[in-house]
């Protein structure tokens, strides 16, 4: 069952690439006492994700922060090494957003936003979405319909804060 506005996010552990290698980030560490703009996408280095989704959040980060967002985080069902390489490719620093790996898809399944991308040779992946999480509780949730890129964009999130 997919997550809804007002739901508390489940406990999860993400992986994040640092200069010293992969490091764990708990959901408690990420969300407790913070207002976080979290967005998820099907895969690193994929066309829409690389050309629109990540660049949009990087470009609008100051506006998001001006509207009360403490942290921006991107989640994908990829490993920390891929997410780290993608951050470099996108010229994204931790100050811009955290690039978080949900390598086994545990968080993605727990929030009910997984999808079967087997026909593309990608296995189980995340649906494309954005959300605002306030102290661990979903304040806003924007899930795309298959193949679309509109409501999960940084533009949409900024306009609806």
pLDDT in tens, 56-70: 999 999 999 999 999
The pLDDT of residue 146 is 81
48 and 28 in contact (C-beta within 8 Å)? no
Residues of the chain with pLDDT > 90, as a percent, come to 87
CB count within 10 Å of CB 121 equals 6
25-50 mean pLDDT? 94
Please report, rounded to a whole number, the percentage of residues in the chain having pLDDT higher than 70.
Answer: 99
* Rounded Cα gap, residues 141 and 138, in angstroms: 7
How much is the pLDDT for 1?
Answer: 61
Q: Are β-strands 13-18 and 21-26 bridged in parallel, bridged antiparallel, or unpaired?
A: antiparallel
* DSSP assignment string, 47-59: HHIIIIIHHHHHH
- Which residues are designated catalytic? 49
Of the CATH numbers 3.40.30.10, 3.40.50.720, 3.50.50.60, 3.30.360.10, which one belongs to the domain with range 13-159? 3.40.30.10
């Amino acid at each position: 069952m997919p997550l809804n506005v007002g739901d508390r996010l489940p406990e999860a552990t993400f992986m994040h690439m640092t200069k010293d290698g992969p490091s764990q980030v708990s959901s408690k560490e990420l969300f407790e006492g913070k207002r976080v703009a979290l967005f998820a996408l099907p895969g690193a280095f994929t066309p829409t994700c690389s050309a629109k989704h990540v660049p949009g959040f990087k470009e609008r980060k100051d506006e998001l922060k001006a509207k009360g967002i403490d942290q921006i985080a991107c989640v994908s069902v990829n490993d920390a090494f891929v997410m780290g390489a993608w951050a470099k490719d996108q010229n994204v620093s931790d100050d811009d957003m955290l690039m978080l790996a949900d390598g086994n898809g545990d968080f993605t399944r727990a929030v009910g936003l997984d999808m079967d991308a087997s026909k593309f040779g990608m296995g189980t992946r995340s649906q494309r979405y954005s959300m605002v999480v306030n102290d661990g509780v979903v304040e806003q949730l924007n899930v795309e319909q298959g193949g679309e890129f509109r409501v999960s964009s940084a533009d949409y999130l900024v306009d609806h804060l």
